[in-house]
C-alpha cells in the first residue's frame, strides 16, 4: 500500500513539473490568437512574428500601398500588444522614416483608433486597415508632422513632390529620408 502512495506522489510531482513547463496563455494572448487566426489582410499588407511563435505579443506589419501618394513605398510598423489587450490598444510605431502628416519623424502614429476611439471590440485587423488608410487618405486635420500637413492642405502638388523625394531617398526640408521604395 505504501508503494502505491509513493508512486502516486511521484506521478503528481512529474505532472507538476510538466505544468510549470507549459506556459498558460493570458486573456490578452487568447484574444490576440483569435485576432490573428481571423486576419483578413489585403494583398498589400503582411504580418511577421520576428520573435517567432513564442512571442505573439510583439510583431511587425508591412504596408505597401497600391494607390495614392505613397504607392510603391514599403512601410514597416512594430506592434506591441499590452497585457490588458483588448481593453487597451496595441502600441504601434512606424519603423520606416517617412514624410507623412500623421506619422512623425520618430515613428509615432496619429490614428484615432489607437487613442481616444479605441474600443475592445476593435482588433488587429482594424488597426492594419487603419494604417493602410493613412497612406491612401492622409489627414492634414490631425497632424503629427505639421510641415507635411500644411503642404497637403495648402499645396497638394508640393506635398506629392515631397512624398516622392522621401520615398526615393532624398531631403525634404532639413530632413534626409533614406527611401523606402519596394
Residue 5 lies in a domain: no
In a domain, 148, yes or no: yes
On whether residue 1 sits in a domain, the answer given is no
Please write the tens of the pLDDT for every residue from 159-179: 999 999 999 999 999 999 999
Give yes or no for a contact between 151 and 61, defined as CB atoms under 8 angstroms apart.
Answer: no
Selected catalytic residue, list 45, 94, 110, 180: 110
Q: Has residue 8 been placed in a domain?
A: no
Residue 51 covered by a domain: yes
Task: Write the pLDDT tens digit of every residue in 81-122.
Answer: 999 999 999 999 999 999 999 999 999 999 999 999 999 999
6 located within any domain: no
> Structural domain of residue 72, as residue ranges?
24-177
Quickly count: other Cβ atoms within 10 Å of residue 77's Cβ. 23
Catalytic site includes residue 110: yes
Q: What is the pLDDT of residue 156?
A: 97
Q: Maximum CA pair distance of the chain?
A: 89
pLDDT value at residue 47: 96
Q: Quick check: is 182 in a domain?
A: no
Number of domains in the chain: 1
Q: Is residue 104 part of a domain?
A: yes
pLDDT tens figures, 15-55: 655 444 455 788 899 999 999 999 999 999 999 999 887 78
pTM given for the model: 0.85
Give the domain CATH number at 53.
3.10.110.10
Amino acid at each position: 500500500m505504501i508503494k502505491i502512495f509513493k508512486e502516486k506522489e511521484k506521478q503528481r510531482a512529474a505532472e507538476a513539473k510538466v505544468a510549470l513547463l507549459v506556459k498558460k496563455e493570458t486573456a490578452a494572448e487568447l484574444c490576440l490568437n483569435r485576432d490573428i487566426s481571423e486576419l483578413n489582410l489585403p494583398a498589400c499588407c503582411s504580418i511577421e512574428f520576428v520573435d517567432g511563435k513564442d512571442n505573439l505579443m510583439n510583431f511587425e506589419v508591412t504596408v505597401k500601398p497600391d494607390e495614392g501618394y505613397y504607392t510603391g513605398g514599403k512601410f514597416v510598423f512594430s506592434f506591441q500588444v499590452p497585457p490588458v489587450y483588448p481593453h487597451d490598444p496595441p502600441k504601434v510605431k512606424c519603423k520606416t522614416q517617412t514624410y507623412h502628416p500623421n506619422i512623425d519623424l520618430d515613428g509615432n502614429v496619429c490614428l484615432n483608433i489607437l487613442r481616444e476611439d479605441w474600443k475592445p471590440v476593435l482588433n488587429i485587423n482594424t488597426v492594419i486597415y487603419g494604417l493602410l488608410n493613412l497612406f491612401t487618405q492622409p489627414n492634414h486635420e490631425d497632424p503629427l508632422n505639421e510641415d507635411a500637413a500644411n503642404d497637403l492642405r495648402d499645396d497638394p502638388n508640393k506635398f506629392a513632390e515631397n512624398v516622392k523625394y522621401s520615398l526615393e531617398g532624398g531631403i525634404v526640408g532639413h530632413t534626409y529620408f533614406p527611401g523606402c521604395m519596394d
